[in-house]
Amino acid sequence: MEPSWLSAARAEIGVREFAGAPDNPRIIKYWNDAGLANVADGQDEVPWCAAFVGAMLARSSIPHSGKANARSYETWGRKLNSPALGCVVVFSRPPHAWQGHVAFYLGSNKPSGLVQVIGGNQSDSVSIASFHMDRVVAFRWPASQLVKPEWVGPIAFGAAAPLSEREG
C-alpha cells in the first residue's frame, strides 16, 4: 500500500494539456482543488506542477503549500534526509535556480544519478519522468503523516533518459 496522495496521482497519469484555445477541464480542476483557481484563470498552459501536487494532497485531506510556485514546497511539511515513497521532491530549474519543479518520489537509480517522479506538467502532462539527482533541493513529507517503514529504503528503477522537455 502506498500513500493515498500518490495513488491519487497515479490515477491521473495521461492527463495532458489541450493544444490551442480549449483548456483541459481536468487540469483546471487541479487548480480548483488546490484553491488556486484565480492563478490560472481557467487556462491549462500556465505552469501547473504545484497545482497538481496541491490537488493530490488536498484530495487526500493533507494541507499543501497553498501556492502556485514549485519552490513553495521547499519549506512545506517536514524535511526528509533521504527520500521515501510518495514524498514531495522539489527541483531547481537551471539556469534559473529560483525556478523549479515539484512532483512525488517513486524511486532512484544511483548508477545513473536519476530520480524518478510522478508529477504534473511534465511534457505538458501527468506522467512518470526522471530528473538528475543534482537538481533536487528538498525531499519533504506532510507534517501530519507518519512515514511507514515500507516506504523507506532503496527504491530502484531502471535507467531512463532524464526529462529534457518543459516542466514546471
Indicate the number of domains in the chain.
1
DSSP, collapsed to helix, strand or coil, labels residue 11 as coil
Residue 28 lies in a domain: yes
Q: What is the pLDDT of residues 15-37, one digit of tens each?
A: 999 988 788 999 999 999 999 98
Residue 164 lies in a domain: no
pTM, entire model: 0.91
Q: What is the pLDDT of residues 37-56, one digit of tens each?
A: 888 776 777 899 999 999 99
Which stretches of the chain are DSSP H helices?
4-10, 25-33, 37-40, 49-59
Domain CATH for 89: 3.90.1720
What does the alpha-carbon distance between residue 119 and residue 55 come to, in Å, rounded to a whole number? Answer: 11
Q: Which residues, 6+ apart, have CB-to-CB distance to 78 below 8 Å?
A: 140, 141, 142, 143
Domain that holds residue 82: 4-151
